[in-house]
Structure 1
Amino acid sequence: MSEPPVIARVTDGLGRLTLNRPAAINALTAEMVGILRRTLADWAESDTVHTVLIDGAGPRGLCAGGDLRAMHADAVSGGTGSLDFWAEEYRLNADIATYPKPIVTWMDGLVMGGGIGVSAHASVRIVTERSRLAMPEVGIGFHPDVGGSWLLAHAPGEIGTHLALTGGSIGAADAITAGLADHFMAADRLSDLVKALTGTKSPAPTACDGTALPAGRDAATESRAGQVAASLAVKPPPGVLDAARTWIDECYAGDDVEAIIDRLARHPSPDAQAAAKEVATKSPTSLVVALRSVRSASRLPGLQEALDQEYRLSAALLRLPDLAEGIRAQIIDKDRRPRWQPSTLAEMDPAVVDACFAG
């Protein structure tokens, strides 16, 4: 018999959820999202589970995102399966962010798109020397979803804007700098983490005045699970984002993608110039939508409102031509030569973008 796509087990207080599609780098399916939501709901009410750990099967990564081929099929046929999937996936993201018990995520290997959604909203987020995190959606005609707009909007300075518009991947230290992770451990320490969390009871944390803290990430990180993770963590190898803040914060300011690309191209830093070339290869529609989404998310009251906005954007972009074309170029035909419509930022119709946000 084949193994389930998510393996769920409880051992001495630790509920462990392992995404189990290693051949697909554990890319999420509707079935997997359903299993995760139902199991987390059951464990939230269970006295036998005190802490949850989410990891991925195989050596390649926690999760490479969602099923892009299914999205492509809907985009070209007018199907609605992706709408149902996103609705449940975004509910899962909200479940994780507000979970009443500590959730620890093991962000080893590739963590992209939907993988960010199941890990970066958790209580305690751990990266390794093999971690590569990315929100690459603008390269396929989409936008940073799964709460990505909220996470990137609250990264220091303009780091989130840089990651949103380039779609580039970052390693462990930079993930911590960007606020997408908390601790660094060597990839071979997973068994030590599991052992340390097993049997660890994490009672509801309290503030210094003795009152109960609200559910969610801030409360859970004060738990015993957060202390365990911190005790096993070490300093990661140096990243690059801290030093790059000198040009990132300057070049990515404002609400105009064309102006951002121009500042990047004119900046003396070779890295800024490289970023300008990278951004220019992305879907013009996605770039404008992504920038506005990140800017808007910074003014929204919380993650749930950002997820609501992202759902409207996802539904709108599903019906625009760039999503099907982007997935075709990257995944289906693999020619890496998308023909965006429109092909330039100058041709963008503001009314199209306004309609995406109107829903």
Structure 2
Amino acid sequence: MKHPLACLFALLPPLVLASEIVVTAPAPEAAAARTPQTCAFPGLQLPANTVVYAAGGYSGKALDYEIDQSGNSAGMMDVTVHNPEQPVVLMLGAYDPTVWRLYRSSSTRILAVLLTGYHRQAMVGLPAGTPTLISYYDNNGACGSHYVDADNLKPLNPLSRQLFGRAVSRVYLAQEGSISIGVPIPAGTVLQSENSQQSQPFRDRSAPLAGAAGLVQALQRGQLRRAGPADAQAWAKAVASKQPPADVPPIAGSRAGRLKVPEFHDGYVVLRRFTYPAGLYGAHAVTFFIPAGVPTPNGNPGHSAVYDFNTLQCHGGLCDAQ
């Protein structure tokens, strides 16, 4: 479900691919970006013809790692800007943890960037020294936690006027993690970017790989093994042994003492300390069995069912279904 602090940005023409991308020397995020204590760009002076473009989406193209402790896998947003006639200010926002990767034509001047969202937002590709504010819910950013949503335009113009003294000129929605901002890019245009390939420095090294890749990683490390019918039978017997027999008469034709055995299609037994990978929601949810004496895993199991022999309780979105 979308967070109520949504804000929008509108539909974008199809991305025009340039014939070449030039990547220049790395520029660390910390050199230009900061978490605002107040929602302002002190001392920023914009030419009268500066335009404000707002863009983003709920999430970018899925990455196989995390960049924060939210329990959500990160996404990548590729942003291309070509606007040679007027200098540009960008307001970018996403809900999920996102690495924004910026490319621009040599004739495009980007004067400032506001990066907002609910979970962590990070950026590569900006010219060194570009004034940048990063404000999102998890860092209590002073500019709020706005992200792209087509149902709510109202927060955009007030925030733009507060920061830049003018309304947003146009809004753009991401299409499969890509956004093209400004005018169409002529064929053969060379796009410039600083540090655009260096998204890995934002990776949370304490977190496992996300989703199925994280489960494979845990199998290889000996933290998990595949679960089978014997594990489900063991669970049913353990639960039955702790429950007193019901004081009810038997039903004719029923099988007395029938065990309630969990059903699952993708199950794992936790063997030692383990952190749930991010992204175990919906079709990616699985089943975990935690034997007695094995510590409760860290992280968020998402919608997965967790059968804990330590408590003989099942937790998670799949428990009722199973």
Q: Considering the TM-score relative to the shorter chain, is it more than 0.5? A: no
The normalised TM-score by structure 2 is 0.24
* Higher strand content, 1 or 2: 2
The normalised TM-score by structure 1 is 0.22
Q: Which structure: larger Rg? A: 2
* Higher helix content, 1 or 2: 1
